[in-house]
Amino acid sequence: MERSDLISILGFVAAFCTTVSFVPQALRVIKTKQTKDLSLVMYSMFNVGITLWLVYGVLILAWPIIIANMITLGLTLTILALKIKYK
């Protein structure tokens, strides 16, 4: 296996871990409709950061960054939207 393959695998594993970490929170918010303990500022800033990472990934054609941030953005935008809705 070549070095570039190992680097890509590392990127995909890191992307998987950080992306999947938002699934339990998103599912809990969807199920319970409880968002009072979530920070609106944190999720707002996080979504801006994820959007910028996504743009960066697209610009450098880095698939681990693109895929992870597309999925993470979907999850965190859901949480943010529900935070605003149930405020």
Instruction: Return the CATH number at 33.
Output: 1.20.1280.290
Q: What is the pLDDT of residue 1?
A: 81
Q: What is the pTM of this model?
A: 0.84
Q: What is the pLDDT of residue 44?
A: 96
Residue with tokens 């993470």: 72
The total number of structural domains in the chain stands at 1
Query: 78 lies in which domain range?
Result: 3-85
H helix count then E strand count, the chain: 4, 0
CA distance 40 to 79: 10
Q: What is the pLDDT of residue 12?
A: 87
Q: What is the pLDDT of residue 83?
A: 93
CB atoms within 10 A of CB 15: 21
> What are the pLDDT digits (tens) for 17-76?
999 999 999 999 999 999 999 999 999 999 999 999 999 999 999 888 999 999 999 999
46 close to 68: Cβ distance less than 8 angstroms:
no
